[in-house]
Amino acid sequence: MAEELTDYLRPEIARSLGSMELIARYVVEGFITGLHKSPYHGFSVEFAEHRPYLPGDAIRNIDWKLFGRTDRHYIKQFEEETNLKAHIIVDASRSMNYTSDPKRITKYKYATMLAAALAYLLMRQQDAVGLGLFDEELRVFMPARLKQSYLREMLRKLQTTEPSHATRTQSALRRVAERLTRRGLVIVISDFLDDPDEIKLPLSLMQHAGHEVIAFQVLDPAERTLELHSADATIVDLETGQQIRTQPYQLQASYQKSVSEYLTNLKDSLLSEGIDYLLLETTTPFDRALLEYLHKRQRMG
């Protein structure tokens, strides 16, 4: 391919691959290539499928090639030795189907591409992965497992599910919390266009139950600025169908102020509960979110 591997960290390049499996693989390979060229090369992604040798381990399971490179004894980990169960929960409500520019991907496409890359990276690290899709209710729930065939099924769900219905964040994420049987990592990817308290409550319940939680908020750039390319515009609520005819420049200053206050409030309320939060736009390279995950994974030890 003509592009460098790291180019696939850019959403507009990654989407050209079409297949969700290819997108996941090239985004992760590009990310790891970028790690090796950056100040973040200390993250041991390439050795994540191994653990240090412990007294009593079978000598035959030592990876001697890795010993030759590191002068340390590592044991190849097997499926039953996975030390993390992670669930990636994606908002599939109608508001996620928005893009302000046909040249950009929708919020849902960005969310599914990010979810696919995270799932691929987790399995590469021998961690079990599950998937949830929600709108008014929990539409899909796949418990965490560590099987390549299971990963392909998750990627198929991400690629074929279409956003629909309104959002009921609290009730849908409560259903997720009820299905989680073992402490682990929960990654929620959504535009979070809901009351901050409705978002905070189910996430804090997960956190208090012993899960580690990361909230990735995905917005279209125009949702933060109201920069539309015409003098007159019709603003449509994708979930209710309500329309407002207006001139964007008349609303822009107050709109930006309101959005900024909302985002600050949401971020502060989640961080106060120990929930990691990162705001992403549909133009943001995927390495920002993948690095956030690695930082979280490193802190979890």
pTM (two decimals): 0.81
What is the domain count for the chain?
2
Give me the pLDDT at residue 256, please. 83
Residue 165 lies in a domain: yes
Give me the pLDDT at residue 48, please. 47
Whether residue 180 is found in the same domain as residue 222: yes
Give me the pLDDT at residue 39, please. 54
Whether residue 54 is found in the same domain as residue 202: no
Residue 31 lies in a domain: no
Of 55, 77, 99, the position where a domain reaches its end is 77
Whether residue 54 is found in the same domain as residue 113: no
Q: Is 100 exposed, middle or buried (0-12, 13-18, 19+ CB in 10 A)?
A: middle
Whether residue 71 is found in the same domain as residue 122: no
Whether residue 215 is found in the same domain as residue 161: yes
Contacts 24+ apart (CB under 8 A), 236-241: 238/94, 238/95, 238/97, 238/98, 239/93, 239/94, 239/95, 239/165, 239/166, 239/167, 240/166
List the chain pLDDT tens, one digit each, 301 residues. Answer: 456 889 999 999 999 998 999 999 999 999 988 877 665 444 544 444 566 666 666 777 777 877 777 777 766 655 444 568 999 999 999 999 999 888 899 999 999 999 999 999 999 888 999 999 999 999 999 999 988 899 999 999 999 999 988 888 999 999 999 999 889 999 999 999 988 889 999 999 999 999 999 999 999 999 988 765 555 555 555 556 676 666 656 677 777 888 999 999 999 999 999 999 999 999 999 999 999 998 888 788 6
Whether residue 175 is found in the same domain as residue 252: yes
Residue 29 lies in a domain: no
Whether residue 168 is found in the same domain as residue 275: yes
Of 28, 57, 77, the position where a domain reaches its end is 77
Residue 294 lies in a domain: yes
Whether residue 191 is found in the same domain as residue 71: no
Q: Which residue type sits at 292?
A: E
What are the E-state strand segments in the chain?
50-52, 74-76, 85-91, 128-134, 138-145, 185-190, 212-219, 233-236, 243-246, 276-281
Give me the pLDDT at residue 42, please. 47
CATH of the domain at 174: 3.40.50.410
Write out the residue range of the structural domain in which residue 234 sits.
80-300
Whether residue 182 is found in the same domain as residue 206: yes
Give me the pLDDT at residue 170, please. 93
Give me the pLDDT at residue 298, please. 77
CA dihedral sign, ordered 18, 24, 29, 34 = positive
Residue 204 lies in a domain: yes
Count Cα atoms within 13 angstroms, Cβ side, for 293.
26
Whether residue 231 is found in the same domain as residue 264: yes
Whether residue 86 is found in the same domain as residue 49: no
Give me the pLDDT at residue 239, please. 58
Whether residue 54 is found in the same domain as residue 153: no
Residues in a beta bridge with 233: 246
